[in-house]
Structure 1
Amino acid sequence: MADTTTRTLKLLALLQAHRLWAAAELADRLDTTERTVRRDVERLRELGYPVESVRGAGGGYQLAPGGALPPLVVDEGEAVAIVTALRSAASGPAAGLAEASVRALAKVMQVLPPKLRRRADAVRAMSVTLPGEAEVPVLDAEALTTVALACRDSTELTFDYAPAARDGRVPGRRRVEPLRLVPVGRRWYLLAYDLDRLDWRTFRLDRLADAKPEKRRFGPRTVPGGDAAAYVRNSLRAGRDQHVVRLLVHTDADLVRSRIGRHAEVADHADGAEVTMQVDDARWIAVAMGGLDADYEFIEIPPAVLHELRGRNAREARALYLAER
C-alpha cells in the first residue's frame, strides 16, 4: 500500500507540470507498467483530480485546470523556491500581496522539513539586495509564521521583545493574546493584548525573538475602534519614532497604489493621488517617490523631516554642480 501511495504521489507531481505525458513515458519515470499507470490515473480521478486522456498517436495524460486548487505535490527544490518567493513577497511593495504571502508562508513553513528550512535560509543569506532594500529590517521567517499561526488559531503567544533603546523600556519576555499582523511602511507589526499589562500593545516583528505558542486558546477580543490596521497606525503616530507625511502625487492613483500601496495610504485626488506615509527615516520618502517617477508636492510634513530632506537635497545639488564643472 505504501508503494502504491508513493507512486501515486509521484505521478501527481509529474502531472502537475502541466504537460502531456505518454503512458510509456510515465511508466518509465515511475518504474512500473502502463497498466499500473492507468490504474493510478483512475485513483487520482477518484480523489478529485481532473486527469484528461488524449487518444491517438502522440496522446497520453495531462492534468486539466480544476474548479478548485487541489493539494500540490512539490519536490525539494520547488519547496525552497516557494519559501524564498513568499519571503520576498511578504516584504514587497504590492498592495494586498504581502498579507496573502504571510498566510501562505505560514502554511508552507508549518510542514517544511528542517533540511529544507536550512536550504531556504541559505538562499536568503547568499542573496544580494538592491540598493535601498538593504535597510529594510530582515524578518525571521520562523518568527513570522509562528506569529501568523498563533493569530489564526487564537493561541496564547510568548516571545522575547527588545524595545527601542530610547524608549527606556527593558527587554523581556512578553505573554500576549495575538490578534493581527499589520504591515506599515517597510515593517510588520503584531497587534496583541498584553496579558501582563492588561492592555493592547503593538510590537515590531523585527524586534521579536524566540516566539512560542502556548497551549491555552482564547476567544479573540475586540480591538478599540474595531479596526486592527487603524489601531496600529494610530498607535505608531503617537510614538516617537514615526512621522506622518502627506503628499499630492500628480499621477494616476491606481499606479501609486500598485507601486507603494503596501507602504502608504493612497486616496484618489482630483489632481492625482493623495499619499499618507508614516516614516521613521526621511530617506524612505525619496525612495518611494523616486520609484513613481512623477511630480509631487507636500501637503503636510513635520519640521524635522523637512529639515533632513533639505539637507539631503543641498548635498545632492552641490554634487551635481561639481559634476557639471
Structure 2
Amino acid sequence: MIEFPQIQLDPDNTFASDFGILIHDEFKVLHVDQNLCNIIGLSKIPAKLSLPNLLSLLVDVNPEQALAHHHRLIKGVERPRVQTFKVTKPSGKVAHVLVAESIVQWEGEIAIQLAIIDITEKYNDFYQLEQQASVDSLSGLTNRNRFEIILSNEIAKAQRHSYPISCLYIDIDDFKLINDTYGHQTGDDVIRIFSQCCKSSIRQSDFIGRWGGEEFIILLPHTSHEFALLLAERLRWRVSQLDVSTADSTVNFTISIGVNTLLGDMTSPTLALHQADQALTFAKRHGKNQVASFEEITTPTGKSPD
C-alpha cells in the first residue's frame, strides 16, 4: 500500500523551480503527473482509485474553509490563490512547495488544477540567510537585534495573559582582563563555552541572547522570582566550574547576574532591562561571582545599586 505524503501549510516563502500538475474536484484527486510524483517523493503515478482525498493529507488547513474556497472558486466569485506548503515525504524528508491554483476543464467538467513547484533549495537558502541575520556568529546565540523583538513580544504576551516573566542580565566577570592576559582567541573561547553552558541550563521555552560584548540576557516566561533566582544561582555555579585551555595554562572564569521579575502592571522592555542591569551592577560592585535581585536591592533593608 502506498504511503502518501503529509502536506502542511507553510505561508512564509515565495520561491520557485519545476512544475508538477495535480487536478482535483472538491479535493478528490482526478489526475497527477510524474513530475509531481517526483516532487512529493512517489516513485510512480499511483492508480487513480487509490488516491486519497487531498483534505486528508493537508495539515493545519481547515477543511470547511478549504471547501468553501473551492466552491467560490468554481463559481467564479473568488480568485485563484498562490500558497506555499511543507510536504513530508514517505521517506521522512521535508520538501517545500509553491502551489498555484487555476480553473480548468477535466473530462467535460470544471475542476481545479494545482501547478506545484519544488522550492526546497530556495527556501533553505532563504532560511540560512534569515538565521545569519538573527544569530550571533561567535556565540551561536540570538543576536541583539532579534532579541529586542523577542523581548518586546514576550513581555507584551506576559502582560496580556497575566503571568510572571523573569529576566537574567549576565556579565562575564573581568572579561577585559582575560583578553588582555590570554589573548582574544581565549576570550572568544570563553564566550563559546559560556554560551554552550547557558543553552544546556535553560528550558526549551526560555530565550537567550548575546546583548553585546560579554553581556547576555536570558528571558524566562511563566517563571516566578524564586525560580528565576534558583536558575540564576545554578547557572552561576556551573560556570564557576568551567575552564578554558590555553597553550600554557587553564583559565577559569565567573559571571555576575542581575535578576528582575515582572508581574501585573508590567513595565516597558527598556525599563525591565534597566532594572535587571541595576541588579547586575549591584552584584558586580559587591564582589562579583554572585546573583543579585532587583526586588531585593530596592527593599527598605536592601542596598541601593548606586
The TM-score with structure 1 as length reference comes to 0.27
- Report the structure number with the largest CA radius of gyration: 2
The TM-score with structure 2 as length reference comes to 0.29
More helix by share: 1
